């Protein structure tokens, strides 16, 4: 098969300069940040700015559904609900590799880290991958699929 276009990399499709949450900030403030920015999750960093986990809407919903957590909501910090370690990707990883990592890890986003492997420089989500897949197929065929 003659390919006119190469497979894009994570850097090509990621959201750069991601919104990050601090591990010691309140869960209420973090939930507001996700909601105001219309994102479903964000990397969590420590005081030094190093990646320590991810907080997602699923983590927040779990807290609401768990009486023990919900009753403690006012005092909860992001570190209490986040999951970690975060699943990461390098900027040069192919979208195929990123899709495989997400599928195997059962996650909806990967935090893209810089060369130091701890500083978040972007996020690649399932939505980003789907957009890349659609663009890749259209580029390969030169045809827009349309059911109309």
Contacts 24+ apart (CB under 8 A), 93-102: 93/9, 93/10, 94/7, 94/8, 94/9, 94/10, 95/7, 95/8, 95/9, 95/10, 95/12, 95/13, 95/124, 95/129, 95/132, 95/133, 95/136, 96/7, 98/10, 98/124, 98/129, 99/129, 102/126, 102/129
pTM above 0.75, yes or no: yes
List pLDDT tens digits, range 124-135. 999 999 998 887
What pLDDT was estimated at residue 99? 95
**In the chain, where are the structural domains located?**
10-141
CATH of segment(s) 10-141: 3.10.580.10
Q: Is the pLDDT of residue 43 over 90?
A: yes
């Amino acid at each position: 098969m003659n390919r006119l276009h190469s497979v894009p990399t994570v850097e090509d499709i990621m959201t750069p300069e991601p919104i990050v949450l601090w591990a010691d900030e309140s869960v209420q403030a973090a939930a507001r940040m996700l909601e105001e920015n219309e994102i479903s999750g964000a990397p969590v960093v420590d005081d030094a700015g190093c990646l320590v986990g991810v907080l997602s809407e699923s983590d927040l919903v779990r807290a609401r559904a768990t009486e023990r957590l919900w009753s403690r909501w006012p005092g909860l910090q992001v570190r209490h609900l986040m999951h970690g370690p975060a699943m990461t990707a390098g900027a040069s990883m192919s979208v195929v590799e990123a899709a495989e990592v997400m599928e195997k890890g059962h996650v909806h986003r990967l935090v893209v880290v810089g060369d130091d492997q701890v500083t978040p420089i972007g996020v690649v989500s399932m939505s980003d991958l789907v957009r890349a897949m659609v663009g890749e197929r259209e580029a390969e065929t030169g045809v827009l699929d349309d059911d109309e």
